[in-house]
Amino acid sequence: MIALTIDEVARAVDGRLVDAAHGERVVDGAVHTDSREVGPGDVFVCKPGEVTDGHVFAPDAVAAGAALLIVERPLELDVPQVVVDDAVVGLGALATEVVRRVRAGGALRVVGITGSNGKTTTKNLLRAILSPEGETVAPRGSYNNEVGAPVTMLELTASTKYLVAEMGASGVGHIARLTRMARPDIGVVLKVGLAHAGEFGGIEQTVRAKGEMVEALAEDGVAVLNADDPRVAGMADRTSARIVRFGFGFGADADVRATDVVAHAGGTDFRVEVAGIGSADVRFRVLGEHHVMNALAAIAVATELGVALDDTVARLEQVTLAERWRMQLMGGRDGITVINDAYNASPDSMAAALKTLAQLGRSGGRTIAVLGEMSELGEFSGEEHDRIGLQAVRLGISQLVVVGAGARRLHITAINEGSWDGESAFVETQDEAFDLVAKTAGPGDTVLVKSSNSAGLRHLGDRLGEWFA
């Protein structure tokens, strides 16, 4: 965090300093909501949670060297404390002030990214592209909610050139709250799908929420929109910012377009055409044709920020993994490949992963899909699990292994499709799934492990990857 006096922190968060004698003391350490991450000079925000309360861990933070606590009630600890009504609101207010101060220096450009799928991948691609241009701050993992996003913003320093902010939501108003903190210069909307549709209350509410990204942009801002998703393309009417479109060109004309797309086990090759700039061939080493859309969004943003196309492509080609547990290649023994893509799953990302599995299977060997529940789909859950079961059949996946009661309908739909020559197995536990795949996978086979994060199959993917290493 940039250097602030404790008085300045207190004013930023609309809080009360417990001991005014500490007001002129300067803090410039990192800001944490997890006491285990606190180091000397850091700030610890005592955030109440659903299961526990950050105030309980304040003594641990102080022992680790915390220089300041932001609390909802004074604690009997010998360390400066600022008391606020709501710690999460205070965290956001502090992030807002830090972004404002750094932006006032004149160099900072802020990129906001939202969408039902692809936020983390696009963020990581942009970090790879922009970091050689200047100091770049981007989230760790998927820090994209009302806690993770401001924690990332608080990593800004006076010399930061780019802030790439992932902005997730589970309801209307969430993205608007994050955009008020960061004030993006460029807003990216990747896709509107059924991820978290149960929480949003339906697809139209999802569209409304994601559109808050472009509504937040000023007239001199840029909205980067998916031309191939009609719901996203339609957001052009909700902003006064300039519009830049990306895609394969199936819908409206794309300013950044991919052609000659060829997917293979080493990634995806394509040609990118940027209106008014030129074109280039890209050997994109992130597995999965669907990640090309994320690459196009990153190219569009980089172009708007003045990065030369040749430099952008060269840096993209150095990226080999979107993120751990996202289309992560593992295994290798006897030519057996494990794709661990079980960090999260929506109907769109599940369908894309199955398509990639089928494409890889064309080079020989069987294809085995180990699938768990897609969570947070609400009333759409049943029909979407049906759709994925049918897709697995129609793509000719050799073996389907369905794990857990929440995904059982997917299994039932697959076995009811009489034209299928493959077979589906249903198991209750990850141990059963591991035993089945470990015994049946043979030389040259490709195994996909995919589920929502809550199903926990990413750990099964790691285990299978190590077994077949």
Per-residue pLDDT tens for 276-314? 999 999 999 999 888 999 999 999 999 999 999 999 999
Q: How many CB atoms lie within 10 A of CB 203?
A: 15
Helical segments of 159-196, H only: 174-182
**pLDDT bracket for residue 321 (50, 70, 90):** confident
State residue 334's pLDDT score.
94
H or E element, residue 309: helix 309-316
Closest C-alpha among 187, 183, 212, 209 to residue 99:
183
Does the pLDDT value for residue 358 go beyond 70? yes
d(CA 231, CA 172): 16
What is 4-86's CATH number?
3.40.1390.10
Least confident of 44-53, 159-168, 306-315: 44-53
Q: Return the structure tokens found at 117.
A: 């799928």
**C-beta separation of 2 from 157 below 8 A:** yes
Q: How many CB atoms lie within 10 A of CB 178?
A: 29
E strand spans, 332-432: 337-340, 367-371, 399-403, 423-427
Give residue limits of the domains in the chain. Answer: 4-86, 107-316, 328-467
Per-residue pLDDT tens for 181-217? 999 999 999 998 765 555 656 778 888 999 999 999 9
d(CA 276, CA 135): 28
Q: Let me know the angle formed at the C-alpha of 22 by 17 and 27, rounded to the nearest 5 degrees.
A: 95
d(CA 255, CA 362): 33
According to CATH, the superfamily of the domain at 328-467 is Mur ligase, C-terminal domain (3.90.190.20)
Which amino acid type is present at position 288?
G
Task: Confirm or reject CATH 3.40.1190.10 for domain 107-316, answering yes or no.
Answer: yes
Q: Let me know the angle formed at the C-alpha of 269 by 396 and 190, rounded to the nearest 5 degrees.
A: 80
Q: How many CB atoms lie within 10 A of CB 360?
A: 20
**C-beta separation of 299 from 282 below 8 A:** no
> Do 107-316 and 4-86 have the same topology in CATH?
no
Per-residue pLDDT tens for 263-283? 888 899 999 999 999 999 999
